[in-house]
Amino acid sequence: MPEMQTLDCNVLGMDWTVNLAKARAQLGATHALQGNLDPNVLFASPEQVVEQAKAVLDSFGTPHQGEGKGPTHIFNLGHGISQFTPPESVAVLVEAVHGHSQAMRQATP
- Tell me how far apart the alpha carbons of residues 32 and 102 are, in angstroms, rounded to a whole number: 18
Identify which has the larger pLDDT, 107 or 54. 54
pLDDT in tens, 24-68: 888 877 788 998 899 999 999 999 999 999 999 999 988 777 676
For the sheet containing 73-77, what is the strand order?
11-14, 32-37, 73-77
Identify which has the larger pLDDT, 43 or 102. 43
pLDDT in tens, 77-100: 988 899 999 999 999 999 999 999
- Tell me how far apart the alpha carbons of residues 24 and 41 are, in angstroms, rounded to a whole number: 23
Residue 109 — very low, low, confident or very high, per pLDDT cuts 50/70/90? low
- Tell me how far apart the alpha carbons of residues 5 and 92 are, in angstroms, rounded to a whole number: 34
Which amino acid, one-letter code, is at 20?
Answer: L
pLDDT at residue 75 in the model: 93
**Taking a C-beta distance cutoff of 8 angstroms, is the pair 90, 50 a contact?**
no
Question: Is residue 8 scored above 80 in pLDDT?
Answer: yes
Q: Where are the domains positioned within the chain?
A: 2-107
